[in-house]
Amino acid sequence: MVIIQELISSLVVLGNIFFTILYWLLVARIVLSWFGVNPDTMSNELLGALYQVTDVILRPFRRLPLQIGLFDLSPIVAFVALQFLQRLLVLGLYSLGGLVR
């Protein structure tokens, strides 16, 4: 029982780390967009990887009409969705740990 609870606790920590990294990658992408950085015109592999990872998150929200003038609100919706998924994962794992006890 203790081993399973520790495993679930470790999964919660790993999930939180994963979502924290995704948050910071999105923040970096947003800040870079303010400076007009385009990965297609630059040959920076790190920048290309950043855009590839964050495109997976932002692409579904970019299909929605979330632009107001020049402002794209899809990153805000992506943050809310990631927060929801993180809480869903953590609560699900905690409830699973409660069932094991």
Q: Which of 99, 83, 101, 94 is nearest to 8 (CA)?
A: 94
Q: What are phi and psi of 68, to 5 degrees?
A: -120, 100
* Residue for token pair 């919660």: 12
* Residue for token pair 């409660």: 98
What is the predicted pLDDT for the residue at 91?
86
Say how many domains are in the chain: 1
The proportion of the chain whose per-residue pLDDT surpasses 70, expressed as a percent, equals: 92
| 43 pLDDT above the threshold of 50 | yes
Most confidently modeled of 41-45, 67-71, 77-81? 77-81
Query: Rounded mean pLDDT of 55-75?
Result: 89
What is the predicted pLDDT for the residue at 101?
45
The residue segments making up the domain with residue 25 are 2-100
